[in-house]
Amino acid sequence: MAITGLKKNTIKTAREKSWMEGREYKHISPDGMPMDNSMCFYDWKAVEKWIENQPAAIPRRKSA
């Protein structure tokens, strides 16, 4: 979060829907059998590349 500026839930959603294990992140556990709540290590360069490839935001209408 400190390196990319992404929020905790943004990272979780990206892991679930966009990122590939072994490319942007890797689950780690001492016994070699990581669970959903196991620690993750992130390839911050791959994450930065993913951020750069995101489409530009569409301006929202402001309500009165």
CA distance 29 to 45: 22
Beta bridge partners of 41: 26
Average pLDDT over residues 42-61: 90
Indicate the residue type of 8. Answer: K
Q: What was the pLDDT predicted at 46?
A: 94
CATH level 3 topology of 8-52:
Multidrug-efflux Transporter Regulator; Chain: A; Domain 2 (1.10.1660)
Q: What was the pLDDT predicted at 30?
A: 86
pTM, whole model, 2 decimals? 0.69
CB 28 within 8 A of CB 43: no
In the chain, what are the domain boundaries? 8-52
Give the tens place of pLDDT for each residue, 7-47.
989 999 999 999 999 999 998 888 888 887 888 899 999 99
Q: What was the pLDDT predicted at 64?
A: 64
**H or E, element range at 40:** strand 39-42
Tokens of 39: 């620690």
